[in-house]
Amino acid sequence: MLAFGLLQWSAVQAKGTEMYVCTGADGVRTYQNSDGGSGCVSLNLNPITVVPAPKSVAPRAGGDSTGTRPARRAPAEYDGRTAADFNAKDDRMKILQEELRIEESKLKSLQDEYKNGQPDRQGNERNYQKYLDRVARLEQEIMVTNDNIEILKTELIRLSR
């Protein structure tokens, strides 16, 4: 009788942890713990393992009784940072350097087209106002690109610290 009860209890536990992913007619996926019909597929989920953190011992004032010094702490700039944090910082720096390179090449091409305020007139600029509008647009784009370059440089300096 006891074995039958344990068998039923384990079956209830297993059923309670079973999850289904259902795809509706509109393609939207929903996750649920009961089989919803034809568009549902059972998910194979591994059980979750929970390990409690070890209990910490409160430090005594003045070190321990053996007369040794308390352990030194890491420098403040390394407190709470992991290797993943440093890798993420390197990745951000690489991304910013690539963006800086792109912005600088964009600035060079804009300056080449601008030709110190005397860009070549294009065929569709028979009307002089169209030419002036393009010159103004080029000036604006050069200013924005210069601002972007300055922002990227300051961000790179901030990250390199």
User: Mean pLDDT of all residues in the chain?
Assistant: 79
| Domain span holding position 92 | 81-160
HSE-up of residue 151 (Cα within 13 Å, Cβ side): 8
Res 21: pLDDT: 83
Res 31: pLDDT: 81
Q: Please tell me the total count of domains within the chain.
A: 2
Domain match, 96 and 31 both: no
pLDDT in tens, 42-93: 877 777 788 888 887 666 555 555 555 555 555 555 556 777 777 888 889 9
Q: How far apart are CA 6 and CA 11, in angstroms?
A: 9
In a domain? residue 32: yes
Tell me, yes or no, if the pTM score tops 0.75: no
Res 5: pLDDT: 46
> E strands, 2-141, where?
19-23, 29-32, 40-43
Q: Determine the residue type at 113.
A: E
